[in-house]
């Protein structure tokens, strides 16, 4: 198969996107080419951007405050800033929150090299981020793209504390719920047939993952958010492809909160009420 030339791949890059940024993120080689892995990564981030752009348009003021939790190498933050923020004459800001100091240092250096003054990166835990003086008291949007383990839950907690108008999540692995299901399995099996959903170890893991996101959605609804759940990309690109979008609509909270409590009690998970932040 013939190698693709840079001109052949240009149609895969959005108009206005900085090629230098894509090279710095190792999505493009120095010669301007992409391999199959970087092509998948770019497609996934662009697909997420398509969901985020209309929400940014609804905010209605130029000084948008977006916080990217569990930012990692900040693929999403950098690409969003390049496409959607830098044209706002630096009124809008992207804040990257990451617990790994070396990634924060690298992202700061990259933002300086690219001349992206509206981006800042912070080495903070979720508890520190909530009260950090360098972050605004209120934010417009919180994102978390494949934030591992409980980092998605940390992003939700931060967003709720800051009363973010929009929350955009692509959850990643989180074994906490599955661990509690596993620990309480014997009691659940004696209580009724419902526990057959997670009796086998593989099903415990899969059911725990599904249940975690159901609980997250109820948690957001119990705080007045309107929640939608959709697929980010096809299964051929990622097995972690669930996209949760929450919009603060000040909706009735009582019934979702009750359903959340009922679900936790029915599945022997009442000890997780603090984790899912019942109002």
Of 268, 151, 266, which Cα lies nearest the Cα of 216? 151
Give yes or no for a contact between 78 and 119, defined as CB atoms under 8 angstroms apart.
Answer: yes
| Per-residue pLDDT band at 86 (split at 50, 70, 90) | confident
Question: Where do runs of H (alpha helix) occur along 132-253?
Answer: 151-162, 176-183, 185-191, 201-221
Calculate the average pLDDT of the chain.
88
- Identify the burial level of 197 via C-beta atoms within 10 angstroms of its C-beta, where 0-12 means exposed, 13-18 middle and 19 or more buried: middle
pLDDT tens readout for residues 249-258 = 999 999 999 9
% of residues, the chain, pLDDT over 70: 91
| Per-residue pLDDT band at 163 (split at 50, 70, 90) | very high
Of 70, 218, 211, which Cα lies nearest the Cα of 154? 70
- The first and second tokens of residue 212, run together, are 């975690």
Structural domains for the chain:
42-172 (3.40.50.150), 174-225+248-279 (no CATH)
Decide if pLDDT at 8 tops 60.
Answer: no
Question: Where do runs of H (alpha helix) occur along the chain?
Answer: 6-9, 19-24, 36-59, 75-80, 101-114, 126-131, 151-162, 176-183, 185-191, 201-221, 254-266
Decide if pLDDT at 246 tops 80.
Answer: yes
What mean pLDDT is predicted for residues 131-154? 87
Separation of alpha carbons 120 and 174, rounded Å: 27
Query: How many other C-beta atoms lie within 10 A of the C-beta of residue 57?
Result: 9
pLDDT for res 11: 59
Separation of alpha carbons 139 and 153, rounded Å: 17
pLDDT for res 154: 87
pLDDT tens readout for residues 183-209 = 988 888 888 888 899 999 999 999 999
Decide if pLDDT at 87 tops 90.
Answer: no
């Amino acid at each position: 198969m013939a190698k693709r030339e840079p001109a052949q791949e240009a149609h895969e890059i959005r108009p206005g996107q900085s090629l230098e940024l894509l090279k710095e993120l190792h999505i493009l080689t120095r010669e301007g080419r992409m391999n199959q892995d970087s092509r998948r990564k770019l497609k996934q981030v662009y697909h997420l951007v398509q969901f985020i752009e209309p929400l940014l348009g609804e905010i209605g003021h130029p000084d948008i405050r977006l916080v990217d939790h569990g930012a990692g190498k900040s693929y999403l933050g950098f690409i969003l800033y390049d496409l959607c923020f830098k044209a706002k004459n630096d009124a809008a800001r992207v804040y990257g929150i990451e617990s790994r100091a070396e990634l924060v240092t690298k992202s700061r250096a990259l933002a300086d090299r690219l001349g992206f003054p509206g981006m800042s990166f912070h080495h903070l835990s979720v508890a520190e981020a909530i009260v950090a003086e360098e972050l605004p008291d209120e934010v417009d949007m919180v994102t978390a793209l494949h934030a591992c383990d409980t980092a998605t839950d940390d992003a939700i907690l931060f967003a709720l504390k800051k009363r973010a108008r929009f929350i955009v999540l692509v959850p990643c692995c989180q074994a906490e719920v599955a661990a509690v299901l596993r620990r309480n399995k014997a009691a659940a099996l004696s209580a009724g047939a419902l526990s057959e959903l997670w009796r086998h170890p593989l099903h415990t893991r899969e059911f725990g993952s599904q249940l975690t996101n159901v609980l997250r959605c109820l948690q957001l609804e119990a705080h007045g958010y309107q929640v939608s759940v959709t697929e980010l990309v096809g299964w051929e690109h990622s097995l972690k492809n669930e996209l949760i979008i929450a919009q603060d609509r000040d909706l009735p909270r009582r019934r979702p909160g009750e359903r959340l409590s009922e679900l936790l009690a029915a599945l022997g998970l009442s000890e997780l009420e603090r984790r899912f932040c019942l109002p």
